Amino acid sequence: MEFKLEAHRIVSISLGKIYNSRVQRGGIKLHKNLLVSLVLRSARQVYLSDPCPGLYLAGHPGTPAPPQQLGEPAAGPPAGWGEPPPPAARSAWPEPEPQPERPTVPEALRTGDAETAAAVTGTGDALQGGEGVAAEAAWRRVEGQRETAAGGAGGPAGGSDVFPEGPRAARRPCGCPPGDEDTLSAAPRMDCCRTPRPAGDQPPATPPVCPRKRGAAGVGGGPAGCPAPGSTPLKKPRRNLEEQSGGAAAAAAEEEEEMETGNVANLISIFGSSFSGLLRKSPGGGREEAEGEESGPEATEPGQICCDKPVLRDINPWSTAIVAF
């Protein structure tokens, strides 16, 4: 369970970085975006492999307010951003517990949550200045591959060396002793990875009422609908963006939520020039389809496009994250 939340949060952060890289000076940095996409992939693997089916069903929040340029009106912030971080997460940089046998990531999970509370306003700007790519085009693409990717096998060609690691990462993102997929039951894993989580964590299965939930949609619905405590610390910087995204965009995005393999043209028309630099080649939706589309990235040699592909195929179609940005 905690994996899912943490993974969700990491995905949100990663998408934010990718999105913000669009506005960063100097153009999109291929190296950083590649690294972010790798993190996305790992997080998504964890998310998809964590056996908590309830999350998928819990309150499909509906409309993702799509990423907007900072000047545009917002549809409303997604759920997932409405809750304050758990009280235990307030302290920044808690002293690391002397648990040498504990895996490192749970430590990171806890401190990460705590840290975000403290560092978020600072990082909010950092995230603004981060890096990114068209998020919804990104998750359009991934939508089409989710089935293949979910199994952790194959996926986009060339990603195979990472995907086998994916499930492994999913199993042991926190460095828990490697166990067989079958034998690794939920209990011990949660044991070893739950400790860092404060007791005050609310179960994601019951999305708390939040006035700003409207715009959210979750991948698989669930966690987006329920404000992941881990993700909320970022609500402050995100809220500005959320409030600025357009209602029309939200409506259109809601449409797309239904469509598994998106219609990029819709998005393009909505976002217009926001993505002209990234999707200049084929606004007609060729991008999300063509797995092996070469003409696009090849012809549009510019550095800003070249990083789309590896990033796009990893972006999880989680609308909350997208809405936030």
Partner 1 sequence: MLGPWCSPTGSPAPLSCETGCREGSWILVCRLLVPTQVSLLSMEEDIDTRKINNSFLRDHSYATEADIISTVEFNHTGELLATGDKGGRVVIFQREQESKNQVHRRGEYNVYSTFQSHEPEFDYLKSLEIEEKINKIRWLPQQNAAYFLLSTNDKTVKLWKVSERDKRPEGYNLKDEEGRLRDPATITTLRVPVLRPMDLMVEATPRRVFANAHTYHINSISVNSDYETYMSADDLRINLWNFEITNQSFNIVDIKPANMEELTEVITAAEFHPHHCNTFVYSSSKGTIRLCDMRASALCDRHTKFFEEPEDPSNRSFFSEIISSISDVKFSHSGRYIMTRDYLTVKVWDLNMENRPIETYQVHDYLRSKLCSLYENDCIFDKFECVWNGSDSVIMTGSYNNFFRMFDRNTKRDVTLEASRENSKPRAILKPRKVCVGGKRRKDEISVDSLDFSKKILHTAWHPSENIIAVAATNNLYIFQDKVN
Of residues 119, 190, 205, 265, which one binds partner 1 by CB under 8 A?
119
Choose between 131 and 242: whose C-beta lies nearer to partner 1. 131
What does the block give as tokens for 93?
């940089």
Choose between 14 and 63: whose C-beta lies nearer to partner 1. 14
The label of the residue with tokens 């999109």 reads 28
Q: How many CB atoms lie within 10 A of CB 91?
A: 13
Q: How far is CA 282 from the centre of its chain?
A: 25
172 contacts partner 1 (rule: CB under 8 A): yes
Residues 322 and 78: their CA atoms lie apart, in Å, by: 9
Q: Is 288 helix (H, G, I), strand (E, B) or coil?
A: helix
310 contacts partner 1 (rule: CB under 8 A): yes
Query: x/- site string to partner 1, residues 120 to 139, per CB under 8 A?
Result: x-xx--xx--x---------
CB 29 to partner 1: min, Å: 6
2 contacts partner 1 (rule: CB under 8 A): no
DSSP assigned state of 95: P
Q: Is 38 helix (H, G, I), strand (E, B) or coil?
A: helix
Q: How far is CA 204 from the centre of its chain?
A: 16
35 contacts partner 1 (rule: CB under 8 A): yes
Of residues 69, 151, 154, 168, which one binds partner 1 by CB under 8 A?
168
Choose between 101 and 258: whose C-beta lies nearer to partner 1. 101
What is the sign of the dihedral through the CA atoms of 244, 245, 246 and 247?
negative
194 contacts partner 1 (rule: CB under 8 A): no
Of residues 49, 111, 232, 245, which one binds partner 1 by CB under 8 A?
111
Residues 101 and 175: their CA atoms lie apart, in Å, by: 10
Choose between 53 and 302: whose C-beta lies nearer to partner 1. 302
Structural Rg of the chain based on CA atoms: 18
42 contacts partner 1 (rule: CB under 8 A): yes
From the list 119, 98, 120, 116, the residue with the least C-alpha distance to 195 is 98
Of residues 56, 73, 90, 108, which one binds partner 1 by CB under 8 A?
108
- Site stretch for partner 1 (CB under 8 A), options 4-12, 146-154, 183-191, 263-271: 4-12
From the list 48, 66, 32, 77, the residue with the least C-alpha distance to 135 is 66
Chain residues 246-285 in contact with partner 1, contact rule CB under 8 A: 276-277
- Site stretch for partner 1 (CB under 8 A), options 65-73, 181-189, 260-268, 305-313: 305-313
CB 227 to partner 1: min, Å: 18
Residues 187 and 194: their CA atoms lie apart, in Å, by: 10
